[in-house]
Structure 1
């Protein structure tokens, strides 16, 4: 059977230009996030050196760990005199969130198998936010790659510069650099708290950390804050069970009322028929 084949659709100049603008916009946004957050690596370098870590240890944390909140939690706990194991455990719990990001991004990006181990190292808050904000897979891949590349390069460079310049700056607490990393993390996290349940978990985490801070050794308040999520979910489940039980009780009462009303109506109709028969 023969017939005319539909020619492949070619991109018009206007369409190609629109796609180019879209890619350029994704790259611009990704670079903005990468540069803005990457500069805070300087604060980590200064804080880490002030906590007593060597230049090699500080740079190794940024190269191998590469998750700002966990790095700040680790050196912060060590600077406060916390146990290294406790500090590492707190940093680990903060880093676990990246595994959940990875589950979502693996479905969105669908990268080749050979690339996945390297891309997994870049699954952090910033790359996840940029990738998930894109309307399609192509834009998500561009956003993830540009954000990860620019942030990784700049974060490690500024970590090195911060560690080298720590002695010249003196006490990082006096400059407020110890709060730079957590402030950036909160700025990225706040817009993602959209539901009441998410806000409740975040609020309870803050309360637990603040209450436990003067009572427990350094690093432990972070671990205690991790119990906010199961506590809120358990309470939400109990409220849901209570709500379902209340709804079931109300539905049963409503059905009983309807049944009684029907029985009365049928009784009235039967009496009427008996009187008419007499």
Structure 2
């Protein structure tokens, strides 16, 4: 059974890596359209490596915002990865040196989701899901980002190709499988309403943080499924 669990984790990781990596095409094109060159786009992707934060950064620049506003918004959106680390700590311990630093770099939405989607009593499957997804997305995302950046100047307005909606589509694809319960659907709906209401009046990045706050308040003290007593 252990081998089956590992194979399943690897299959999940591969499919998620390829699907997520494809969105790098959109990011590369949007980054160039926002005023960054190919090398700056690649550096941002390699060092930040958080799709939501990267899209937030180039989104602020593309909307006419200054670099400090772009950095602040990107940082706020990226704070969520620190919370992922808390949930993944029992899965990845013990770990030191370069492995620890590398694990921090690839702690993202997708690696966290695939790791925690594995059976909670199968630590090896969870670790496999995390590493295979994190490294897979890193390689695919950065490689395809370069392609998007190189093509960006030839695509014209990214909105004409629907690439401006890629970030929202990526987040929806990640969240959708977790909306099976009515409670999750209600929280997601409330968060969406708050974000939409604030978008016309709040600075870029604030609606996302407000929506996250709604989810945090709703989930405070609510046990995870595997923590519910039998």
**What's the Cα RMSD here?**
2.4
- Structure 2 residue 140 is matched with structure 1 residue 154: yes
User: SS of 1:146's equivalent?
Assistant: helix
For residue 131 of structure 2, what is the aligned residue in structure 1? 145
- Structure 2 residue 42 is matched with structure 1 residue 59: yes
- Structure 2 residue 54 is matched with structure 1 residue 71: yes
For residue 130 of structure 1, what is the aligned residue in structure 2? 114
Deviation at 1:32, TM superposition (A): 0.7
- Structure 2 residue 72 is matched with structure 1 residue 89: yes
Task: Tell me which of the two structures has the higher relative contact order, counting C-alpha pairs closer than 8 angstroms and 6 or more residues apart.
Answer: 2
Q: Identify if the C-alpha distance between structure 1 residues 110 and 172 changes in structure 2 by more than 3 Å, giving closer, same or farther.
A: same
Instruction: Quote the Cα distance in structure 2 between the aligned partners of 1:60 and 1:198.
Output: 37
Deviation at 1:119, TM superposition (A): 0.4
Deviation at 1:126, TM superposition (A): 0.3
Instruction: Quote the Cα distance in structure 1 between the aligned partners of 2:100 and 2:113.
Output: 18
Deviation at 1:83, TM superposition (A): 2.9
Q: Identify if the C-alpha distance between structure 1 residues 34 and 102 changes in structure 2 by more than 3 Å, giving closer, same or farther.
A: same
- Once the two structures are superposed, the pairs formed by residues 1-278 of structure 1 within 5 Å of their partners are 18-114=1-97, 115-135=99-119, 136-193=122-179, 194=181, 196=183, 199-200=186-187, 202-216=188-202, 220-228=203-211, 230=213
Q: How many pairs align?
A: 216
Return 5+ residue gaps in structure 1 as ranges.
1-17, 238-278
8 Å contact 1:71–1:91 — kept in the other structure? yes
